[in-house]
Amino acid sequence: MRHLPSLAAVRAFEAAARHGHFTRAAEELGMTQAAVSYQVRLLEERIGHKLFFRTGGGVKLTDVGARIAPLLSGAFDTMEEAFRAVRQETESVLTISCTVSFASNWLAPRLGAFQVTRPSLAVRLQSQNHLVDFAREDVDVAVRVGLGEWPGLAAHFIMRDALRAYACPTFLAAHPPIHSVDDVLRLPRISAGDEWWSIWRSRFDAAHIDDRPVPGLRLDSQVMEVQAVMAGHGIGLLNPLFWAQDIAAGRLVPAFGETVFDPRSYWLVHPAHTGTRPKVKAFREWLLAEAAREAANDPFGNYERPAAHA
């Protein structure tokens, strides 16, 4: 256990020793002259030695004060250098938290382009589906799915979350033709108990249909669900934007209905007070510009901002 005087008292003494004046020390520390004098007096009482004697133009160090002042200044210099190194390290690393599907199918393929614009910035992408806690986790920015309202966070719209029922050609060939929502709901579905199926069903005014899930696979991300769909294990609700190449290649085929949109969207979020930090600002501007560029050629309507969020 360290037996040290109050840091406030030590700071007041060190500043007064450097300036040779209580008033100038007070100006540096944002304190009153009386507060500096009080802190110095507390330190003198703590160590049992006078540290200054007054002169006509200010204060002068006693022998004891002159002996410890340079040591304390050196200690503060060391602490300042340590914190400067931490700040520089923090500013040289950008940590992004992102949902697994968005990270794998949208962000990761584009992230190299951002890295080219910021070669000195180390970019770390964490793919995870839980909501990151900025106060507890070492994350700078995150991509979340929601309505764009999170207390204390700045939220920037990226795209809507789209849903369409897809299957693979072999699955469709092995089952009766699908002509209705009822037909879809009676067939094997991937993650049939997920809330997205209720959202999808509601768009077709099918709330009256018995939607008790049939036995099947329950997976926690579209990255796994799409593999199950293409393997012929069932119909899956997928975001067509994420799987455009598989759709174009015929590995995924629409099973029934048009694309519907989840009321929630993808948002870039960060603590409101960090928005002006260079690395956060640079990534935000790049990502939103990238989304705007994609919106110019958007076959699925993902980038069209909902009226409620305009």
Q: What is the number of structural domains in the chain?
A: 2
Can you give the pLDDT at residue 55? 83
Indicate whether 122 and 24 sit together in one domain. Answer: no
Here the CATH number for the domain that contains residue 59 is: 1.10.10.10
Average pLDDT over residues 259-267: 91
Indicate whether 162 and 72 sit together in one domain. Answer: no
Indicate whether 283 and 237 sit together in one domain. Answer: yes
> Which of 75, 90, 105 marks a domain boundary?
90
Indicate whether 129 and 256 sit together in one domain. Answer: yes
> Which of 90, 112, 135 marks a domain boundary?
90
Can you give the pLDDT at residue 310? 55
pLDDT-based confidence at residue 293 (cuts at 50, 70, 90)? very high
| CB-based contact 144:161 (threshold 8 Å) | no
Does the residue 168 lie in any domain? yes
Does the residue 208 lie in any domain? yes
Q: What is the pLDDT of residues 128-180, one digit of tens each?
A: 888 888 888 889 999 999 999 999 999 999 999 999 999 999 999 999 999 99
pLDDT-based confidence at residue 85 (cuts at 50, 70, 90)? low
Indicate whether 144 and 265 sit together in one domain. Answer: yes
Here the CATH number for the domain that contains residue 272 is: 3.40.190.290
Indicate whether 190 and 276 sit together in one domain. Answer: yes
Indicate whether 122 and 235 sit together in one domain. Answer: yes
Rounded to an integer, what distance in angstroms lies between the CA atom of residue 43 and that of residue 152? 40
Structural domain of 308? 94-310
Q: What is the pLDDT of residues 19-74, one digit of tens each?
A: 998 988 888 888 899 999 999 999 999 999 999 988 877 889 999 999 999 999 88
Indicate whether 223 and 107 sit together in one domain. Answer: yes
Indicate whether 46 and 130 sit together in one domain. Answer: no
Q: What percent of the chain has pLDDT over 70?
A: 93
Indicate whether 36 and 120 sit together in one domain. Answer: no
> Which of 25, 55, 90 marks a domain boundary?
90
Does the residue 1 lie in any domain? no
| CB-based contact 25:15 (threshold 8 Å) | yes
Indicate whether 164 and 267 sit together in one domain. Answer: yes
